[in-house]
Amino acid sequence: MNSAERDELCFLPATELVARIRSRELSPVELTEAVLDRMQEMDPLLHAFCTPTPEPARRRARRIADDLVRGRDPGPLVGVPLGIKDLLSTKGIRTTSGSWVYRDHIPDEDDIVVERVLAAGAICLGKTNTSEFGYSASGLNPLFPATRNPWDTASSPGGSSAGSAAAVAAGLGPVALGSDGGCSVRAPAALCGLVGMKPSMGRVPVYPGCRDERLPGVSGWESIEHIGPLTRTVADAALMLSVLAGPDPRDRHSIPCGDVDWIAAARDGGERPDTVAGLRVGFSPDLGYLPVDPEVRGVVERAVREVVEGQLGCHVRAVRPGWSDPAAAFSALIMAETDLSGMRAMADRHADRMSPHLVAWLRGPWTAQDFTDANIARKALVNAMARLMRDLDVLITPTTAVAAFPVGAHGPGTIDGTPVSQSAWIGFNYPANLTGQPAISVPAGRTGAGLPVGLQIIGRHLADGTVLRLAAAIERAAPWAQLRPSITAGAASITTRATARTVRG
């Protein structure tokens, strides 16, 4: 197999790879070797994987190939190579959470979602890079080199599922697992030109959690953390969610999922876009309070006007949600669900080995009133969102306020000439974490420099199927999976098949 054939294979969607493996047209061993070969070539520049596991991946591929020969069905993800975010526990595989303190930590159990993808026949390529304990929307931590965006290696891929997004965008596996406590699936999906879905709270069970409470000084964000896939197609996201979703008694928040046929929802939107005609869509380019890069705003507005309204026939109207920025409440709730005394003790011992922004955040003058006020603000947001959604099926916004910014930063210091905090660029994301609603980011187009721009779809409470259906219809109308980054240092470039139709950006 030459490098061109290898790369074609590495960029096929998981749904097609599964079909080829089941028909014996493709061996899981051949596929795994192709992806590992591309990883060896590309990842020294991207740093998507912090703990690659090539030999275990090869052994598992051989076992799956043997199962197929013997007539056994390995599962719906048969032979699919994937990366697993380094916040998710993997039995016997180092899981550092991007922290020097846990540089040698090896869990003794898998996270539920890891159990499920492995039971479904997936092949783990290794752990993907993340910000320290997930406390930043970047790929920066004190332990590993910064993850870089395949569309422009001088730029950030976003985060905290930085490595998972960079890996999928670069063809280092068709899918990856991420977690989203405020933006961390959707924001990197937007900056890397991918599909990233945060399902409704409780759809995908979380255990032991992205910050395992058994580790000294670490605790999870129990009421805001979601786990979801990063993929190149909506159908692949649906395939992953069909495996990930479903209740588990180890997560008291998990809920039955029988009301969502994930694969059918994506298929209906992709094959019958008329199923979304007439959807009531609210569109807000800024939520009434967020500064947005004009180019990003323009790309999303065109996608809404030309695709969502023009081609798909949705009823779009401008909305101004009416709530104030919940950033302060969101920050306080993160601290309220953190083992603050334990993490502060960790910072006292290891501050020089920790991310400075995290140490500063932990040492902030947090009070009990901050936490109670945050809960009150959260409930007000939940109520305001419920009132807004009474007359809407979905709310569409930009996914992020900017396209990819320079690697090494947690976010831009100014947006459209306005000085902002370094987390302001993710302001469209965390409202859905606070309310628990389903939300997905899909590509909307590109900036003049060729950087991806994401469009976010937020659904009604538990209306995951509607979100997937509309995302798939947008993909059919303006496909993006044929776009691939030509990985170069400091220069974004796009390789596109001549027949592709894209939303102009």
pLDDT by residue (tens digit) across 7-55? 999 999 999 999 999 999 999 999 999 999 999 999 999 999 999 999 9
Of the listed 89, 97, 184, 254, which one is catalytic?
184
Domain boundaries, the chain: 3-495
Known active-site residue 223: no
Active site residue 127: no
Concatenated DSSP letters of 69-86: HTT----TTTT-EEEEET
- The Cα-based distances of 221 to 180, 243, 332, 338, 370 in angstroms read 10, 23, 11, 7, 17
| Whether the bond into 421 is cis, omega within 30 of 0 | no
Tell me, what's the pLDDT at 487? 79
* Token pair of 250 as six digits: 């180890």
User: How would you class 498 by CB atoms within 10 Å of its CB: exposed for 0-12, middle for 13-18, buried for 19 or more?
Assistant: exposed
CA 175 to chain centre: 10
Q: Report how far residue 295's alpha carbon sits from residue 197's, in angstroms, rounded to the nearest whole number.
A: 24
Instruction: Give the residue from 411, 446, 413, 414 showing the smallest Cα distance to 429.
Output: 411
Question: Cα(257)–Cα(245) distance, rounded to whole angstroms?
Answer: 7
| Residues 6+ positions from 295 with CB-CB distance below 8 Å | 403, 447, 448, 453
Q: What would the pLDDT profile of 329-376 be if each residue is shown by its tens digit?
A: 999 999 999 999 999 999 999 999 999 999 999 999 999 999 999 999
136 is catalytic: no
Contact 183, 134 (CB under 8 A): no
- Decide: 88 and 179 in contact? Cβ < 8 Å: yes
Burial, 380: exposed, middle or buried (Cβ in 10 Å; 0-12, 13-18, 19+)? middle
Task: Grade residue 467 by pLDDT with cuts at 50, 70 and 90.
Answer: very high
Chain mean position to CA 142: 22
Dist CA 156 CA 141 (whole Å): 13
Catalytic residue among 89, 155, 156, 160: 160
What pLDDT, on the 0 to 100 scale, is given for residue 219? 76
Whether the pLDDT of residue 6 is over 70: the answer is: yes
Query: In Å, how far from its chain's centre is CA 7?
Result: 23
Q: Quick check: 204 pLDDT over 60?
A: yes
Q: How far is CA 283 from the centre of its chain?
A: 22
Torsion of the alpha carbons at 234, 450, 414 and 224, rounded to the nearest 10: 10
pLDDT band at 150 (very low <50, low <70, confident <90, very high): very high
Whose CA is closest to 115, among 260, 250, 261, 265? 250
Considering the domain 3-495 in this protein, what is its CATH number? 3.90.1300.10
Contact at 8 Å (CB) between 388 and 162? Answer: no
Average of pLDDT values for 132-136? 95
The active-site residue out of 85, 164, 200, 219 is: 85
Separation CA 94–CA 351 (nearest Å)? 22
Whether pLDDT at 283 is above 70: yes
DSSP string, 287-350: TTT----HHHHHHHHHIIIIIIIIIT--EEEE----PPP-HHHHHHHHHHTS-HHHHHHHHHHH
* Residue 22 to residue 397: CA distance in whole angstroms: 39
Contacts of 334 (CB under 8 A, 6+ apart): 135, 181, 182, 221, 224
Task: Kindly state the tokens that stand for 492.
Answer: 């974004």
Supply the pLDDT for residue 211.
74
